[in-house]
A and B are shown apart, each in its own frame.
Chain A
Amino acid sequence: MNIADVVSAACLLAGCTLSLIAAIGLVRFPDLFSRMHAGTKPQVLGLLLVLVGVGLRLRDWTDIGMLLAVAMFQLLTAPVAAHMIGRAAYQGGAVRQDTLLVDELTSALEADDPGQSGRT
């Protein structure tokens, strides 16, 4: 057991802990948007930590290249998916006003031409 293995184990442990906490948040949070915030953790930091852990264990450039591809895809796609879901949820009226302290989008949409609302 050398240093790389120890660091790798620490990364794996941290990544898996984040996944567990995210799952708890996913069950406990009251509305869709809060749950999405919880879900971002394992998708970004948790996954990156696990991939670093695996890379440190395998120590082979071919495999690290593949892990890099996974990390890159995840970092590029996760925000797009989150934005699509968030937008669909907001337009579908799934946002709960009672959990919001401030809502500047609804007023901005109302100020717009109704035909233009929700379009970029």
Chain B
Amino acid sequence: MIAVIWVCAAMLSVAAFLVLTRMATGPTMLNRVVAMDVLIAIVVAGLGLEAALNRHATTLPILVVLSLVGFVGSVSVARFAAHDDKGENT
């Protein structure tokens, strides 16, 4: 079990790094929002992994909050900040 969780943690780390490069390069706000959504999914997976490893439930409320905050964040950006994207490509 522990070995599996370490392998998972390594994969998630690489994934988070790749997503961060996409967030840095953009090129537009919407691309960064998509990257942020994926990053949040990865953080949720990481917290779940840790909860599974140590068999505790203290971090579970954080998962709920993260999934909702991520949604509000991406919808707000899509609704209000997307106008900056006009004229740019992709």
Interface size class of A (residues with CB under 8 A): 35 or more
- The total of Cβ contacts below 8 Å across the A-B interface reads 177
Q: Is A109 an interface residue (CB 8 A)?
A: no
Interface residues of B, count at CB 8 A: 54
Interface residues of A: mostly helix, strand, loop or mixed?
helix
Is A58 within 8 A of B52, CB to CB? yes
| Cross-interface CB contact of A19 among B41, B51, B64, B70, cutoff 8 Å | B41
Question: What string of 1s and 0s marks CB contacts (under 8 Å) between B7-24 and chain A?
Answer: 111011011111101100
Answer yes or no: A80 CB below 8 A from chain B CBs: yes
Considering the chains assembled together, what is the distance between the CA atoms of A67 and B28 in angstroms? 33
Which A41-79 residues have C-beta < 8 A from chain B?
Answer: 42-43, 46-47, 50-51, 53-54, 57-58, 60, 62-63, 66-67, 69-70, 73-74, 77-78
